[in-house]
Structure 1
Amino acid sequence: MSRETATEANDTVVFIHGLWMTGLEMFFLRRMVRDAGYDTEQFSYRTMAGTLDENAHSLKHFLESLNARPIHLVAHSLGGLLSLYLFNELNYHTDGKLVFLGSPVRGSQAARALADKRIGEMILGRSGQQGLLQDSRPEWRHANPLGILAGTRGVGVGAAMSDLEKPNDGAVAVSETHIPGASDRIELDVTHASMLMSRAVGDQVIHFLRTSRFDHEADAE
C-alpha cells in the first residue's frame, strides 16, 4: 500500500487494481486524481493466492485503518468485484463515492473461456475463480454514488481467445459491466489496459468524484 498526499484535510481516494496486477499500473490515474486535489492510497492484494473473501476482509481492514473521511474507491476490473463483495457481503459503509473501471460485475466470458483450458483456473488464481467465473446479476442498493466506466476498443487477449460479445474493451464486454442502481455510466474508446493510462478516463473519474455524474458532453466531443 502506498500513500500520496496533495494537501491536508482532503478527500481520500483509494485505488484498487485488477487481476495479475500490483497497483503500480494505476500510477497515472492516481497522479491525475492527486493533482486534482485529492489524497490517494493504493490498496494491493494477492489476486492469485487470496480468495475474494480473504482479499475483501483485507480491504475492509485497510480502509478502517485510514484516518480519513470521506473515502472514495476507484476500482479496475477484478477490483470492482472486490468492492462489491466488500459492500454486499461484509456490510462495509463509507460516505464516499465509487467508480468501477471495466469491472465484469456480471462475470467474465473471457475468464470462463480461459477456465476451460488445461491450466486456466490456475492462471485465474483464487480471486479470479471466485469472482470472474460467476454468472450473477448484482444490484447496487447502497446510498453511495456508483459510476460505471466501460471501454469499447475491443483489442486484447480476451477478445482474441473467446467470442466476446461486442462492444467490449478486449477483455470485458460492456454488458458485463452493467449493474442496476448505479448512479451513472459511460463508455469510452479505450481498451481494458489502456484505460489505466487514459487522460480521458482520468478526467471522467475526477468529474464523477466531484459531481456524482460523468461528463457526457465531453464524451460527445
Structure 2
Amino acid sequence: MKLLLALLLMSLPSPARAADGVILLHGLCRTPASMRKMASSLAAAGYVVVNRGYPSRTATIEALSEATLGTALQDPRLAGCPRVHFVSHSLGGILIRDYFARHPGKLSGRVVMLGPPNQGSEVVDRLGEWRLFKKLNGPAGGMLGTRDDSAPNLLPAVDFELGVVAGDRSINWINSAMIAGPDDGKVSVKRTGVEGMKEQVVVHATHPYLMKNRKVIELTLRFLRSGSFGSEG
C-alpha cells in the first residue's frame, strides 16, 4: 500500500515554481514610460514586473529612495515571489544603493544597473550650481558629483549581487567634453563601477536609450537568470 501511494505521488506533476519579481526604477527626469520596453521584455520572460515611478526632481536621494523602494517592495503583486530583483537606469541605481545601505538584508534578488553614476558625474561638478541645472534636475541631481562627499561616494560598497551595464556612445558632445574617458553622454564608463559589484559590461549605446537597447535587455535577462552577463551554459 505504501509503495502504491509513493508511486502515485511520484506520478503527479510537480507544482509550478512561483515567478520571481522585478522592480524597475527609471532615471532622473524620466518616467516609467522610459522603462516600458524593458518591462514588457521581462514580463514576456515570465517575471512579475513592477515598473515604479517616482518624482525624481522633487527631493533628496535619501527621501526618494525611502519613499520609492519602501512602497515598491510592498506591492501586492510581489507577495508570492520567492525573490525580488531590481533593474535601474541612472539615478535609480543610486536609490537602490542608498536604500539597502540603510536596510541591509532586505534584498532577496539580483540587481542590474544601467548607466549608474556610482562614482558621480563630472557634468554635475561643472553645471550643478547653475540655476537652470537646479531647476531642471532638482535636489537629487545636484548630489551626483564626483567629489568624495557626493552622495554616491559616501555610500558603502555594495553587498548584493550586482551587474553594471555602461554605455560608451555619446550624442551629447558638450557633456562628453567635460567627462574623462569613454562615456555615454552623462557618465564615464569608469564611474559607473562600484566596489563590490560582481560584473561590469560595456555596450555601444547612449545614456538615454540604454534601457531600450536590445543587447542591454538581453544582458539584463541573462544576469537576472544566472548572475552573470556571460553565457548561461
Task: State the TM-score, normalized to the length of structure 1.
Answer: 0.86
Higher mean C-alpha displacement, 30-39 vs 196-205:
30-39
Higher mean C-alpha displacement, 185-194 vs 120-129:
120-129
Q: Of the candidates 90, 93, 97, which is equivalent to residue 106 of structure 2?
A: 93
Q: Pairwise mapping of residues 21-60 of structure 1 onto structure 2 (< 5 A)?
A: 21-60=30-69
Q: Of the candidates 186, 209, 214, which is equivalent to residue 229 of structure 2?
A: 214
Match of 1:79? Answer: 92
Structure 1 gap ranges (5+): 1-6
Alpha-carbon RMSD across the aligned residues, in angstroms, is 2.2
Contact 1:49 1:126 in 2 (8 A): yes
Matched-pair identity in %: 26
**Alpha-carbon distance, 1:178 to partner:** 1.2
**Alpha-carbon distance, 1:118 to partner:** 3.6
For 1:45-95, what per-residue CA distance to the aligned partner results, in whole angstroms no more than 9, with x for missing partners? Answer: 111112211111112322331313310000100000110101113436121
**Alpha-carbon distance, 1:112 to partner:** 2.2
SS of the residue corresponding to residue 213 of structure 1 reads coil
Task: State the TM-score, normalized to the length of structure 2.
Answer: 0.82
Q: Does 1:108 align with 2:121?
A: yes
- Aligned pairs, number: 208
SS of the residue corresponding to residue 149 of structure 1 reads strand
SS of the residue corresponding to residue 41 of structure 2 reads helix
SS of the residue corresponding to residue 35 of structure 2 reads helix
SS of the residue corresponding to residue 15 of structure 1 reads strand
SS of the residue corresponding to residue 73 of structure 1 reads strand
SS of the residue corresponding to residue 104 of structure 1 reads coil
Higher mean C-alpha displacement, 69-78 vs 115-124:
115-124
User: Kindly tell me: are residues 8 and 46 of structure 1, through their superposed partners in 2, closer, same or farther at Cα, counting changes over 3 Å?
Assistant: farther
Q: Does 1:147 align with 2:163?
A: yes
User: Kindly tell me: are residues 18 and 158 of structure 1, through their superposed partners in 2, closer, same or farther at Cα, counting changes over 3 Å?
Assistant: farther
**Structure 2: distance between partners of 1:163 and 1:11:** 40
Amino acid at match of 1:140: A
User: Kindly tell me: are residues 27 and 107 of structure 1, through their superposed partners in 2, closer, same or farther at Cα, counting changes over 3 Å?
Assistant: same
Match of 2:178? Answer: 163
Contact 1:14 1:73 in 2 (8 A): yes
